[in-house]
Amino acid sequence: MAAAPAAPAIRDLAQQPTDEETMSLYAPATENAAAIEKAIFEHSLTRSLLQDPKYIASRPHLKIPAQLRGQNLTGGTLLGEGKIEVPPVQFGTKDGSSFVSLQYLGTALCGHPGIVHGGLLATLLDEGMGRCCFPALPNRAAVTASLKVDYKAPAMAGQIFVLRAETTRVEGRKAWVKAWLETLVDEKNGEKPLVVTEAEALFIEPKMAAQMNLVRG
């Protein structure tokens, strides 16, 4: 009886949507979310990534069953109006070498009025670097062993940010990754993105990774 409520969630985990399916699962519930969604998908960066055969597009947070989203920080707790307004759109390579993610950060995520909390930026970088390198590891799973973050400029809330990550080295169960967060701009019109945060991290795959039933959204 105690395990009964968990049964639907376990079943849903076994029947997760594919990367391609996640791209059509989200429907904006507010006008602001719809405007953000339009801005992301109509931007030249997104269009170019969607057309680049080396990248796999997905919205991995939508793989998390609804019953479990309340237990996931970036895939549940921080999603919503005024926060991470729409599920991030992410692009990763099959070999785990490169990763790009677009996400809107709202005013409910600030540490100081109008400025996104630095702890949240570190969280996004940590998660993005992990998603970048997972495919390069034997069992596609790892935990953060070390994380270094440098804050370069205030990240002003209420806009879309681009997270870029690159796996720089892989040795067995270890992967070294670098990443940065920058503003989304129209580079074709001469605008230059502002880098707000840079990071480096070491990820290590647990020895028992092959036996672990890891839930990754």
**Is 52 considered catalytic here?**
no
Catalytically annotated residue among 95, 126, 150, 186: 126
Q: Which phi and psi angles does 86 have, rounded to 5°?
A: -130, 155
Token pair for 94:
């099959």
Contact 41, 8 (CB under 8 A): no
Which residue(s) pair with 201 in the sheet?
A: 147, 177
Positive or negative torsion for Cα 42, 48, 53, 58 = negative
Query: DSSP alpha helices (H): ranges in 84-213?
Result: 118-133
Burial environment of residue 114 by CB neighbours within 10 A (0 to 12, 13 to 18, 19 or more): exposed
Max Cα-Cα span within the chain: 62
Phi, psi of 52 (to 5 degrees): -85, 115
Separation between Cα atoms, residue 105 and residue 82, nearest integer Å: 8
Report H helices in 43-181.
44-51, 118-133
From the centroid of its chain, how far is CA 191? 24
Annotated catalytic sites, by residue? 126
